[in-house]
Amino acid sequence: MQIPNPSQLRSCLIPALPRISVLLPFPNVNRARFNPTVVLLDWDGMLLDSYAADVRAYMAMFRALQIDWDPALIERHYSPDWYQVYRAARIPTHRWAEADRIWRAAYATERPALLSGARAALRALEGRFRMGLVTSGSCSRVERQIRHFGFTRLFPASVFGEDTRRKKPDAAPLRLALARLRATPAECVYVGDTPEDVEMARRAGTRVIGVLGPFPSANGMSAARPDVLLPSIRELPAYLI
């Protein structure tokens, strides 16, 4: 099976996102009280344009395991908890560690770029908020990417996929980040691009800002009802500052 290149993946696999030109706060949000001192962010799809790279790594893994899947099935079953994808593909649990190794090896050749506006948004927030990451990505992979983009000093606290047994949408990853920053839920806003991000923040008791990103989960963000839904990461500083 021929694997589409990134531009083909973006144009063919991801349904058109809603056209949004303004901030979308929901009526139950009191804007005057929305003043966080801590901003925690997702990484993949939020700051990093990594969906096409993820799909190619998945396809390499499926070929190695001789599983007949294609990019459309990955889109349909995508979840930040990759074991949900494994379950959907009926990968036996005793082969999950093998699948992880193959996926990581395939992804190691990928060099995804930042989403447009991500660097400028982070620089605008720098110094005004304490910041951190809460991501499902592995520590080795995400830390390498953070170093590559020169963001190490921006994130004094980060929680990675292997740091907690329970994954998004469970509150455990976000609560761990709050503990590492010695922050309370009332001080924090979480910024993510998936319904699982929204649910995790709700369970942890923090405010949540949704951003429409390149992953298929963007289609469910309006129904997930974050406190605010932004059309892109570019709009985040204007809302928070």
Q: Is 7 part of a structural domain of the chain?
A: no
Same domain, 30 and 128: yes
Same domain, 199 and 155: yes
pLDDT band at 32; cut points 50, 70, 90? very low
Domain boundary among 63, 91, 107: 107
Residue 77 pLDDT exceeds 70:
yes
pLDDT tens digits, one per residue of 223-234? 999 999 999 999
In this structure, are residues 39 and 81 in contact, taking their beta carbons and an 8 Å threshold? Answer: no
Q: Is 17 part of a structural domain of the chain?
A: no
pLDDT for residue 156: 92
pLDDT tens digits, one per residue of 177-220? 999 999 999 999 999 999 999 999 999 999 999 999 888 888 88
Same domain, 130 and 183: yes
Mean pLDDT of the 58-81 span: 95
pLDDT tens digits, one per residue of 79-128? 888 999 999 999 999 999 999 999 999 999 999 999 999 999 999 999 99
Same domain, 125 and 100: no
In sequence order, the β-bridge partners of residue 44 are 48
Q: Is 4 part of a structural domain of the chain?
A: no
The domain of 73 spans 51-107
Same domain, 174 and 78: no
Domain boundary among 74, 92, 107: 107
Q: What angle do CA 211, 217, 221 make, to 5 degrees?
A: 50
Number of domains present in the structure of the chain: 2
pLDDT for residue 9: 41
Residue 36 pLDDT exceeds 50:
yes
Same domain, 69 and 123: no
pLDDT for residue 7: 42
* Mean of all residue pLDDT scores within the chain: 87
Same domain, 103 and 83: yes
Q: How far apart are the first and last CA of the chain?
A: 48
Q: Is 101 part of a structural domain of the chain?
A: yes
Domain boundary among 72, 107, 142: 107
Q: Is 9 part of a structural domain of the chain?
A: no
pLDDT for residue 83: 92
Phi, psi at 182, each rounded to 5°: 55, 50
Same domain, 99 and 164: no
CATH number of the domain to which 182 belongs = 3.40.50.1000
Q: Is 1 part of a structural domain of the chain?
A: no
Same domain, 165 and 229: yes
Q: What angle do CA 129, 222, 142 make, to 5 degrees?
A: 45
Q: Is 191 part of a structural domain of the chain?
A: yes
The closest of 38, 69, 45, 20 to 195, measured between CA atoms, is 45
Same domain, 123 and 153: yes
Same domain, 78 and 125: no
pLDDT for residue 63: 98
Q: Is 12 part of a structural domain of the chain?
A: no
Q: Give 70's contacts (C-beta < 8 A, 6+ positions apart).
A: 1, 59
Half-sphere CA count of 40, side-chain side, radius 13 A:
33
Q: What is the CA radius of gyration of the chain?
A: 17
In the block, which residue shows the tokens 């989960």? 217
pTM, to two decimals: 0.83
Same domain, 118 and 99: no
Q: 171 or 27, which is more confident?
A: 171
Residue 15 pLDDT exceeds 70:
no
